[in-house]
Amino acid sequence: MTDAPDNGRCRARDLGITIGNYRTGPLNAITDVAGVEVGHATVSWGDADLPDRHGPARTGVTAIWPRRYDASGGDDDLMTHPVAAGFFALAGTGEMTGRSEIEELGRINTPIVLTNTMGVGTAYDAICRYLVEHDERVGGSEGVVIPVVAECDDEYLNDSRGFHVTAAHVAAALDTASSGPVAEGCVGSGTGMICFGFKGGIGTSSRRVADGDATWTVGVLTMTNFGRRGRLTVDGVPVGRHIPWGSEAELPEQSHRGDRVDGSCIVVVATDAPLDGRQLARLAKRAALGLGRTGSAGENGSGELLVAFSTGYRPQQGPGVAVQQIIEGESINDLFAATVDATEEAVLNSLCMAETTTGRFGRTIHALPLERVRGLLAEYGRATPAGR
């Protein structure tokens, strides 16, 4: 069980919500996969009455290192030993750079950065410059890189016309990334996001899967910015139906961003299980089922893009034939199920940890009312002892 933050927000498990039957990792986060690091740069300043293009800023950057670069070229060097990767688009009205290389070669050799829609170009350029400045092999002996940058649109709360995400913010997220607990809710790229009409943002979760003598970890991080209020489902309970507009969490200008049909979600799945690019594309596809459990319909205006990578499989880089073991057949089913569960819980954590936020034009997005959710879970007989 985790301690509730001072603002009264808490993770889903502290409400008594237990998704699935697999154990979580010690942090219940994507960083439970060894070597994975996450960092945020939160860009939140300014009042609603600022002139166009001068704020307020409600945005940021979230960076995920599958592994760090190691100029000595050791076995854990992301540059010379990319992680295997796969991609799946549940709904394609969005952007993730580098996806064509992932689909073609089944690998990633850069950090993954999440930000707002109109900050993709800035983030892409900033990653390239950051890597060049920190490693002389980039653009030199090891060639150029194609960074992975993914976005969701935070324009309802954030002054997107002001381009408030800078190269310094990208560098800060990359620099401060760590393998410890991951901040959730209104942090980093999740600062201005909306999920099911409530305040969304960053969420994470993990699962451990036993396979004979081996134990594999699956970790998921989500940036949530999708969903209609009436479809929100928490551990099978139709919570959204019980919290209609005009209740505890009414939005102004409902017709603009209220019962929304547009929006996006980025899902990053990490695992140490030995899976190649083909298998990881299958794993990413299963993460979409976790979004569906929470209420996603992958609608027309939504960009729900999912990427999975494995630190336990090394794509062949040089000439010759490489023989490596991968998980196949029935053994992969537990990894599929664990990914679905961790994705569902990561979305719920983003909602549970996010705080009510006021931004552009004085618009306010309210946080999911946790006590109301706790009561609904009890009414449906779904609550379990917190911290299980």
**Residues recognised as catalytic:** 264, 302, 304
CA 194 remoteness from chain centre:
14
Question: Which H, E and C letters describe 248-268, residue by residue?
Answer: CCCCCCHHHHCCCCCEEEEEE
If one counts every other C-beta atom within 10 angstroms of the C-beta of residue 72, the result is 7
Q: What is the dihedral of CA 27, 31, 37, 43, to 10 degrees?
A: -60
Residue found by looking up tokens 């690019």 in the block: 277
Q: Do strands 194-195 and 214-225 pair parallel, antiparallel, or not at all (unpaired)?
A: unpaired
Q: What is Dmax (Cα atoms) for the chain?
A: 65
Q: How far is 82 from 106, CA to CA, in rounded Å?
A: 9
User: Six-digit token pair at 75?
Assistant: 């076995």
Q: Do strands 302-310 and 263-271 pair parallel, antiparallel, or not at all (unpaired)?
A: parallel
Q: How far is CA 116 from CA 31, 126, 181, 228, 341, in A?
A: 23, 14, 23, 20, 26
Q: Do strands 112-116 and 148-152 pair parallel, antiparallel, or not at all (unpaired)?
A: parallel
Q: How far is CA 191 from CA 271, 316, 348, in A?
A: 26, 38, 16
Q: How far is 19 from 184, CA to CA, in rounded Å?
A: 18
User: Six-digit token pair at 223?
Assistant: 């940036």
The Cα angle at residue 284 between residues 124 and 20, in degrees rounded to 5:
130
If one counts every other C-beta atom within 10 angstroms of the C-beta of residue 174, the result is 23
Q: What is the dihedral of CA 42, 48, 53, 57, to 10 degrees?
A: 0
**Per DSSP, what are the bridge partners of residue 218?**
207, 271
